[in-house]
Amino acid sequence: MTDRQPFALTSMRIGRTDLGSGIIAVDDDAIVVVIHSAAEDRSIRVPCAAIDEIGLENGEVELRLRDGMRLALGGDDSTGLRSELVNHCRALPEVTRALRAFGSRRGHGSARTSGPDEQRRFFAPLLDARREAVTAGEPERTLAAFDSATLEQAIARTLHVLATERYGDNAPARRALEAELVDLAEPLINALEALGVAADDARGSVDDLRLWRAWSTQLRATFETADRVWMSLDAALDATPWRA
């Protein structure tokens, strides 16, 4: 909706109060309704976080807010308007900002030369999922991009490879290091499992923005957890000799 003209509204109501005509547009993380008036236009800014559901009833788009208020919007393309508003409120949260360690000296400040490459491989499944989700288009595909089971398996494979690279055919040492890495990664695995539960809830009712926000919050928390886990893994790998 940010790439197109605002929608013209032929009618607006808050509860039973008729507000007349106007326009509606989006502003970052909010929806802005501009009410036309003979004296002076005035605007109402509704944060996306305050919207629990966006429905379509009797040819009008109805915003049901967290405080119980209902805002009804009528126009020539109510179906298109609802689709645009729902998509805006379900925008993928910014998660890479949580990765303070990724690509920074803090994230691979050890003396080992393999640090940057190992860091990239660890974060790759999450970053690949994010890239897929950005272009997903549909909420079900966005949720599927962050499939928790797939991500858990990818993380496990990475930890196995990191241990194998250091100890090769030394099975006891390899298993010991892999077990240590798996223990350190447990907070991330727990976060991914919680993400899977939140995704199942959101998938069961994709129009319930409360469930979508719960999933988005857990997604951000998962990236934050991955950042902390990497710091622990980085220290463990730095203390481990290469192919002892």
Mean per-residue pLDDT over the chain, rounded? 88
Report the C-alpha gap between 18 and 148 in whole angstroms: 46
Do both 189 and 233 map to the same domain? yes
Secondary element (H or E) of residue 55: strand 51-57
Pick the closest to residue 129 from 204, 229, 226 (CA basis): 226
Q: pTM of the entire structure?
A: 0.83
Instruction: State residue 163's pLDDT score.
Output: 95
Residue 3 has pLDDT above 70, yes or no: no
User: Would you state the pLDDT for residue 190?
Assistant: 98
Pair type for strands 7-9 and 11-14:
unpaired
**Which pLDDT band, with edges at 50, 70 and 90, does 243 fall under?**
low
Give me the amino acid identity at 175: R
Is there a single domain that holds both residue 141 and residue 161?
yes
- Which CATH number covers residue 30? 2.30.29.30
Confidence of residue 91 (pLDDT cuts 50, 70, 90): confident
**193, 185, 190: which is closest to 228 by C-alpha?**
185
Distance from CA of residue 212 to its chain's centroid? 9
Quick check: 171 and 164 in contact, CB under 8 A?
no
Residue in 43, 46, 1 with CA at minimum distance from that of residue 25: 1
Q: Give the number of domains in the chain.
A: 2
Q: What is the pLDDT of residue 71?
A: 92
Residues 37-51 have a mean pLDDT of: 86
Residue 104 has pLDDT above 70, yes or no: no
Give the tens place of pLDDT for each residue, 5-30: 788 999 999 988 998 899 998 887 88
Domain termination residue (choose one: 67, 89, 111): 89
- Structural domain ending residue among the three candidates 57, 89, 121: 89
The CA R_g of the chain, rounded to the nearest whole Å, is 24
Cα gap 223→209, rounded to integer Å = 21
CA distance 69 to 78: 20
Q: Which residue has the higher pLDDT, 3 or 182?
A: 182
